[in-house]
Every structure is written in structure tokens, then in C-alpha cells.
Amino acid sequence: MSAATLLRDVFGFDAFRDGQQDIVDAVIDGRNTLAIMPTGGGKSLCFQLPALVRDGVTVVISPLIALMRDQVRGLQAAGVAAGALTSGNTEEETDAVWAALEAGTLKLLYMAPERLGASGTVQMLRRAGVSLIAVDEAHCVSQWGHDFRPDYLRIGQLRRDLDVPLAAFTATADAETQAEIIQKLFDGQQPASFLRGFDRPNIHLAFAVKDGPRAQIMNFAAARKGQSGIVYCGTRAKTETLAQALREGGHSACHYHGGMEAQDRRDVERRFQQEDGLIVVATVAFGMGIDKPDIRWVAHADLPKSIEAYYQEIGRAGRDGAPAETLTLFGPDDIRYRRQQIDEGLAPPERRMADHARLNALLGLCEALKCRREKLLGYFGEAEVTCGTCDLCDKPAEVFDATTPVRMALSAALRTEEWFGAGHLIDILLGANTDKIRQRGHETLPTYGVGRDYDKRQWQAIFRQMMGHDLMRPDPDRHGALRMTDKARPILRGEEEITLRRDTIRAARGSGPKVRMLVSEEDAPLLSALKAKRRFLAEQAGVPAYIIFNDRSLIEMAEAKPQTLDDMAKIGGVGAKKLESYGRDFLEVVAGAQEDVHPQRRKLAGRGEGEIYDRLLSVQSQLQRGPHGADKPMSLSASQLAKVAQLRSADMDGLTRLIGDRYAERFGDAFLEVLESG
């Protein structure tokens, strides 16, 4: 069966997403392939679809058991023979996988990289007839990466042992990591490489300065009540206190961090996958492997550690393509903490420099003066950017020429020999009469009192932005005192000017992304009813709600309001198996009670053969008693009629062989007329 047919009939999509088809074609052709695609860009389809087209078994190396189990359940719900060999399997599940391998019916076999270390694994895969290796989250092979998994280093040897093509997929890989993937997985031989755009246009980007951060997160969550979300925090303790606050605010919320017992973490993962509207407050330990497609928002209560980490973490929202929102809070303490983490780390000097550069890129995004998306995608090398979905496109920043106050601030730091933090420097600029100033004689400095045109909050915002633009850095050897960087010298010398935002911490209050409705106000009640039906069916089957249908499919149903199974089959994500399993349940919600449709006709819903079946049925009805209505009644079974509707070449000989002489004599000419015009 062709890739296009499988895409429609199994996965329920009429067309590939941008860039998918080239990758699918390369993998089907058996070429070694490296694909770097944005999270939610449809990576899984790029190895699942070729697995169905190609002969033999595709083995999928994936890092987390939860991720594998969800993908297997999703494939099985779509009618695909898939299984996983994991430590989380029941005995029955493992037996079923082995039986399918023995019978030669299994198409996708998922396993964790750790299993590659077990003796006999290679021989088992060879006996199973593995013809393709797919590697999900391929960046785990990079020893520089934060997701490094040592067992990923075994995959290159597996490829050599089995002598089959390998397709590697990841959402985050800078040039350094790409080179490492090619070296470790492909022995340095350049694979067919596809770098798809990093843009996720359905995700709204927003940043806000911390001003009562707990209240800011609470307000953000309250405006999105009932939607699944993640709040990332910098410390384990904060995940627990913030989750408690959200529960007290009437939300369904739980915490997650690396210090929890393994079973407790698994319980949270299970709840998050299966419950609608659960909020998880987590450290970055809650990360890779979260494959829930209908996460509607991600908030950062603290600044992420780099621009790559930010991109990966917000990328967990809106993987179904429906609208999603983000909010990132930041402040001067975050900047100091992240700088300190890098400076006190054990990485070699060149690595620390690279980490500071990655943090600088994120701080530039925090302090951006125009479009966030332009800034974010520019970092990944994309110049052609269309936005309209970020806070600065919603409401452009108010900016001012800050060259003079910045020079004042730099001068105050230099004249105090860069031994003080922002608080004392602001006191000097404002001409404050403090013990610290008097004890050190700082009231005699030329910069004493020169900054009275700005109040304390405005100076705090200026210093924060100077740190964000990397003009000043906290020095860990001087207890966090601010020191000027080389980037600031041209401004101090009057060779360059600088523009800053006129936002003060006070101006940030009440800001934040506007709530974007998933559907119009008119369609909202229908979407709620569809979600309720999905929740009921998911609970009955004991599976996550999105295994039934994801949010995007329900949104399309609410907007398109299908009236028949043929209409329902045109909804994205409604493949033949899901149409058969759930189509009538959801159609009943949209269109009310439906007349019973024969199962053979249901299988043809949404396809051209369905319409042909209806016309054949009409013709058969007219000729049931012969052309004059006086003969003995005759009719084909629904199964026979469905076979006629699916005839590829329409001629009388073929039709007669299918339905027999007696039926061909009565219906043949009329049936052929329908098939030829079909």
C-alpha cells in the first residue's frame, strides 16, 4: 500500500505536514537519515509510516518507557501491529510481542537503549527480520548534552551488526550535537539530512518581569482553568509549595522532581497522561518523553538555563497543532543564579563560555524590544519569520534612548572599583543617605545623585536590562558584585548608543498573555461535550484521552460539525480504525441520533468507494425485481456490494467473476455504468 493511502486510512490525514514527505520518502528508500524537526512537528510519523510500507520489522530505540507505551497504544488504536519490550510490561504484553514476532505480523518493535546491552538482543533482532532502525531523541548520544544516555553509544554498533539503514530523529541539535550524532550513529558518514524549520506558530510566546511571581502564575493558571499545563520551577521545594497553592486555588495539580520516589514519579506521569486538565509543577526532571499532545500551556516560574532548554520546554505545549500559550517569568536574581551555576560548574573554560553565550541568547529574548519569535528563530538560523503570536506583536514595547542612564550606571560601578551590587549602586545614583554610603565616602563621588531623574524601580529595571544585555555580570569571586563586560565599553566611551524598554516592574503588573479561545464562543459548548464523550470513552478503555482523539481533532469536529460518517472521516486524525471504533459516538454528540449504517459501508466512509457503494445500493434497489418490477427479488450482500465498489478495473468479465452469472445478468450493465462514471 502506498504511503499516501496509509497516511489517510491509518493515520487519518489527507496530506503530509510541511517537510514530512521528503523524510518519509528517504526512510522508505532505505537511506540513512538524520531529521531535525521541531517538537510537535510530526517526527513519529516519519518512521511509523515507512515501517508500514517497508517489509520486515522496524525497531524503534526510545529513551523512556512512558513514551514507548503511549506510542504503542496510539498505533494499536489506529490498527497497527506494534509492541514494546520494556521492564514495565506485564507478562501477557511480553508474550503477545514475542508471539507477533514469531508469526511475522509485528511491524514496529519499541525498546529502550539499555536493552541493547543484554546478551542475545542482536541475535533476537536478526531472527525477527529487522529491516530498519529508528532512533528517537537522537541527541541523547551527545556527551555534551543534558540528556546524555550512555547506552545510546551502542546504537552505532547495532546498525553495523544488523547491516540495515538507520533513521535518527531529534528536535534539538546544534551544530556540535549534529556532528556527534553523525559520528556516533553513522560512523562519520553523512546521512541524508533534513533540517526542518524550528517555528511552532501555534505557540504564543510571552515573558514578564517577576512581580509577585506566585500570584502571576496563579493568575495565569486561573485564566486557563481546566486546561492541561506544566509549570517549570528552579527548585524542588518550589514545585511542592506552588502545587499546593494551585490545589488550594481549585486546580487539579501535583508536583514532580528528581528527589521523589520512582513510583511516585510514575504515578504523576500516569495521571498527567490520562487526566484532562491536570497541572504538573515540576523541575526539568519532568521533561523528555512527555508525549501528551494536548498540553495547552507551559509556564516558567523561574528562568530556564539556556535558550535551547527554553525552546525544548515550551515545545511540550500544543504538540497537536492547536493553539497553546507560554509565560516565562524572570528577574535579576534569576540572572545572577544562572551565571553562578555556570561559573561554579566543573565544565572546561570553553564550555563555560558557550554556556554563558546560550544564557545570553535567552536573556536577549527576555529583554527583546520587538518580536520574540524573530529573536528566537534567529538564534537557530532562521531569517524568514512570520509572527503575530507573541506578547510584543500583541502590544509593541515602549522604548527609550537609555545611553545616558546606562553610562551613569557603568560609571558608578567603575568609581567604586566594581565591588558592589545593584542595590548600593542605585543608592549612589539616587543620592541616598545610607550608612554604607557614608562609611565608604561614596557621597563624594562624581556619580553621587546624578540619577535622580529615575526612581528606584526604574533603576532596578535598567540594571536588570543591563544584565540581560550582558553589559554587567555578577562576579562570583566578589560575592556577586557587578562587573562591566567588554560589551559595555563602547557605550561608556560614547562610541555606541543603547535602547531599552521603558517597562518598570510596576508596569509589568497585570501583564501576561491574553487567553486565546480554542474555538469561537458559539462552538465552545459543543467542544466541551465532545471532550466529555472523549473522557468517558478513555476511562472505559483505561487509556489517555488523546489516544481516542487529540484536541485538534475535537476542535475540527466542533467547527466543521460533521453530519455523516463520510463527513467525520474527513476530520484530521480520524483514520479508518478510529472511525470504526469511535465515529458514531462522536457523530451522535455533534449531529444527534444517527440511523444505523451497515458495518461494510462504515468501512468505506470518507473514501470515494463509499459514494460508489451508495449509488450501487440505489441501482440495486431499483432493479431488485428486474427492469420491469415483476421478477423474483434479488440482492447482493453488503459485503459483496462493498467488494464491487472497490473494483479497480471495471469490466463485465471481472464483475461476473466477483458476483456470479445470475447477479451479473440483472445488475451488471447498471453496476458498470456506476463504476465507469465513479
pLDDT tens-digit map of 560-579 = 999 888 889 889 888 888 98
Which pLDDT band, with edges at 50, 70 and 90, does 618 fall under?
confident
Which pLDDT band, with edges at 50, 70 and 90, does 150 fall under?
confident
Q: Quick one: fold of 203-394? A: Rossmann fold (3.40.50)
pLDDT of 612 > 80? The answer is yes
Which pLDDT band, with edges at 50, 70 and 90, does 393 fall under?
very high
Residue 631 is predicted with a pLDDT of: 79
What does the pLDDT average to over 75-85?
92
User: What is 540-595's CATH number?
Assistant: 1.10.150.80
Which pLDDT band, with edges at 50, 70 and 90, does 413 fall under?
very high
In angstroms, rounded to a whole number, what is the distance separating the alpha carbons of residues 656 and 181? 58
For residue range 647-660, what is the model confidence (pLDDT) as tens digits?
A: 867 788 888 888 88
Is residue 596 within 8 Å of residue 638, measured between CB atoms?
A: no
Is residue 566 within 8 Å of residue 7, measured between CB atoms?
A: no
Cα dihedral 13/15/17/19 (nearest 10):
140
pLDDT of 605 > 80? The answer is no
Residue 508 is predicted with a pLDDT of: 43
Residue 24's closest CA among 179, 175, 134? Answer: 134
Helix axes 456-468, 349-366, angle to 10 degrees: 130
Residue 193's closest CA among 19, 23, 21, 28? Answer: 23
pLDDT of 358 > 60? The answer is yes
In angstroms, rounded to a whole number, what is the distance separating the alpha carbons of residues 249 and 245? 6
Residue 517 is predicted with a pLDDT of: 67
Which pLDDT band, with edges at 50, 70 and 90, does 510 fall under?
very low
Q: Retrieve residue 69's grid coordinates.
A: 507505551
What's CA 73's distance to the chain center, in Å?
18
What does the pLDDT average to over 609-617?
79
Multiple choice CATH, 399-502, 2.60.40.10, 1.10.1060.10, 1.10.10.10, 3.40.309.10: 1.10.10.10
pLDDT of 144 > 70? The answer is no
User: Is residue 500 classed as helix, strand or coil in its secondary structure?
Assistant: strand
Residue 24 is predicted with a pLDDT of: 96
In angstroms, rounded to a whole number, what is the distance separating the alpha carbons of residues 560 and 572? 11
User: Is residue 85 classed as helix, strand or coil in its secondary structure?
Assistant: strand
Residue 282 is predicted with a pLDDT of: 94
In angstroms, rounded to a whole number, what is the distance separating the alpha carbons of residues 256 and 183? 35
Which pLDDT band, with edges at 50, 70 and 90, does 349 fall under?
confident
For residue range 304-343, what is the model confidence (pLDDT) as tens digits?
A: 988 988 998 998 899 888 899 999 999 989 998 898 888 8
Which pLDDT band, with edges at 50, 70 and 90, does 33 fall under?
very high
Residue 205 is predicted with a pLDDT of: 96
Residue 472 is predicted with a pLDDT of: 93
pLDDT of 511 > 50? The answer is no
Q: How far is CA 414 from CA 283, 407, 418, 487, in A?
A: 38, 10, 5, 15
Q: How far apart are the first and last CA of the chain?
A: 21
Residue 403 is predicted with a pLDDT of: 96
Which pLDDT band, with edges at 50, 70 and 90, does 678 fall under?
low
Burial group, residue 570, by CB count within 10 angstroms (0-12, 13-18, 19+):
middle
What does the pLDDT average to over 127-141?
92
Residue 514 is predicted with a pLDDT of: 57
pLDDT of 235 > 50? The answer is yes
Is residue 282 within 8 Å of residue 239, measured between CB atoms?
A: yes
What element of type H or E holds 424?
Answer: helix 422-430
What element of type H or E holds 676?
Answer: helix 661-677
What does the pLDDT average to over 56-76?
88
The mean predicted confidence, pLDDT, of the chain is 87
Q: Retrieve residue 184's grid coordinates.
A: 556516533
Residue 290 is predicted with a pLDDT of: 65
Alpha-carbon Rg for the chain in angstroms: 31
Max mean pLDDT range (89-103, 294-308, 503-517): 294-308
Residue 465 is predicted with a pLDDT of: 92
b/e sequence 633-657, b meaning 16+ C-beta within 10 Å: eeebeeeebbebbebeebeeeebee
What's CA 549's distance to the chain center, in Å?
16
Multiple choice CATH, 3-195, 3.40.50.1370, 2.60.40.1180, 3.40.50.12140, 3.40.50.300: 3.40.50.300
Least confident of 352-366, 425-439, 499-513, 527-541: 499-513
Residue 504 is predicted with a pLDDT of: 53
Residue 288 is predicted with a pLDDT of: 57
What does the pLDDT average to over 83-98?
87
Is residue 386 within 8 Å of residue 443, measured between CB atoms?
A: no
For residue range 205-215, what is the model confidence (pLDDT) as tens digits?
A: 999 999 899 99
Q: How far is CA 275 from CA 248, 263, 280, 287, 482, in A?
A: 19, 18, 11, 18, 47
> Within 10 A of 471 (CB to CB), how many other CB atoms are there?
23
Dihedral pair phi/psi, residue 245, rounded to 5°: -60, -40
In angstroms, rounded to a whole number, what is the distance separating the alpha carbons of residues 454 and 451? 6
Residue 580 is predicted with a pLDDT of: 86
Helix axes 524-541, 576-591, angle to 10 degrees: 130
Least confident of 287-291, 372-376, 511-515: 511-515
Residue 252's closest CA among 232, 235, 229? Answer: 229
- Residues sharing a CB contact under 8 Å with residue 103, sequence separation 6 or more, in sequence order: none
pLDDT of 447 > 90? The answer is yes
